[in-house]
Chain A
């Protein structure tokens, strides 16, 4: 039976949920079906730019939402990143099931604001799955073991619009769709009030997929490293920094690493706000004649339970 990539991915997501649902259904008979909002504040992370829970620019091993292992949670998010020459709006939703499986959907709207690419729009849809496979970031304080999760992000670039209508392959990418696979290890060191995360990702995506997948320089999966370190100021405020390696598949785009410095505020379990100063490197520089690193403010709002 030949399955195209999207169907394979949907099957993977369904099998992952099926793994969680029988235990969940059994538990439903003994507890209320309403969400328990039982996880501790901030332990669902924030919504990253690709929709997965974690930091702002990289997924963590934490499962989205405030549902404990006996329940579920969900949230919606909106994020805006504005640099000197571009803007990136992402919005989406995520569901956390039994604090073990996470499903997310995000839409990215990228728009050129300055120079030759002024008015160029590129959009992308991302469907994410994440499964916690070992450890617990909060309770395993007495061991070295981190919380570990594996995940995949199915990305579908919807093409260019605005000043030009074309598939993203017109910019040099080999494909319009791609799947990123990753593994994350997250550990909360309450003794030091520090959280650390390490993510290993294999991807072919150019600028997360906004410039398509693969290119004239490379068209194979590359392993890349992403890391976050955060300090817990108190139970409502977290500050931190993140780093994300990027591939360089297109000669037309001098793709570089992303960095950010963030502060996240969790006033209640219903809402969180994250502000960051982000540097996403230069984008499509030879075409824009713009070698400047794209730096700017990132603002994200998440609401849910």
Chain B
């Protein structure tokens, strides 16, 4: 029983430790973060992110689940804003200049499945550019909470 208790205590302690480490990393709100040069570098910097977003839009356009939304969008403006946003979220010098997520999406009636489809397409674009999984997940950890503002239906 003592042996079991030590193991359980270690498990609980490691969960608490990861909570604390996690909390310290995300004290800042999701739209701005401390510089993480390694993630920005993993994404290939400004040029790499530009390629990823270009590919992302191609994949999105070909995705029957959500291609309709792109047909109704100003793709050039969207592309520029996405590059700013991803650049900022991965620790680059870019600054997102668009409206907040809630305002930008509230008229679109987006469902959870649509949001996930978009995330999957972004993953495909990141895979295509060889962004390491850990770096991809770090970006996704910043994008995931936006689901609460973007999904309205």
Q: Does A64 contact B (CB under 8 A)?
A: no
Q: Which of A155-163, A176-184, A191-199, A203-211 participates in binding chain B?
A: A191-199
User: Are A243 and B11 in contact (CB-based, < 8 A)?
Assistant: yes
SS of A interface (majority): loop
User: Are B134 and A193 in contact (CB-based, < 8 A)?
Assistant: yes
Distance (whole angstroms) from the CB of B65 to the closest CB of chain A: 8
Distance (whole angstroms) from the CB of B90 to the closest CB of chain A: 13
Interface residues of A in 130-145 (CB under 8 A from B): 138-142, 144
Known A141-B145, A235-B123; judge A189-B22 contact (CB<8 A). Answer: yes
Interface footprint category on B: 35 or more
Contacts of A227 in B (CB 8 A): 8, 11-12, 15
Q: Which of A32-40, A82-90, A107-115 participates in binding chain B?
A: A32-40
CA distance A257 to B3 in the complex (A): 10
How many chain A residues have a CB neighbour from B under 8 Å?
A: 34
Q: Does B26 contact A (CB under 8 A)?
A: yes
SS of B interface (majority): helix
Known A233-B133, A235-B133; judge A225-B8 contact (CB<8 A). Answer: yes
Question: Pick the contact of B133 from A36, A193, A257 — CB < 8 Å?
Answer: A193
User: Are A40 and B145 in contact (CB-based, < 8 A)?
Assistant: no
User: Are A191 and B26 in contact (CB-based, < 8 A)?
Assistant: yes
User: Are A190 and B140 in contact (CB-based, < 8 A)?
Assistant: yes
CA distance A110 to B33 in the complex (A): 53
CA distance A194 to B116 in the complex (A): 19
CA distance A38 to B116 in the complex (A): 7
Q: Does A68 contact B (CB under 8 A)?
A: yes
Q: Does B141 contact A (CB under 8 A)?
A: yes
Question: Pick the contact of A142 from B7, B11, B26 — CB < 8 Å?
Answer: B26
User: Are B145 and A139 in contact (CB-based, < 8 A)?
Assistant: yes
Q: Does A4 contact B (CB under 8 A)?
A: no
Contacts of A36 in B (CB 8 A): 113
Known A191-B22, A196-B18; judge A232-B11 contact (CB<8 A). Answer: no
Contacts of A29 in B (CB 8 A): none
CA distance A69 to B151 in the complex (A): 11
Q: Does B142 contact A (CB under 8 A)?
A: yes
CA distance A234 to B127 in the complex (A): 10
CA distance A138 to B151 in the complex (A): 14
Contacts of B4 in A (CB 8 A): 245, 257
For the A-B complex with A190-B137, A192-B21 known, give 8 more contacts whose Cβ atoms are closer than 8 Å: A36-B113, A139-B144, A141-B144, A192-B18, A193-B134, A198-B11, A229-B11, A257-B4
Q: Which 5 A-B pairs have the closest CB atoms?
A: A38-B113, A190-B141, A234-B133, A142-B145, A227-B11
Question: Can you list 6 A-B pairs, Cβ within 8 angstroms, ordered by A?
Answer: A38-B116, A190-B137, A191-B26, A192-B21, A196-B15, A227-B8
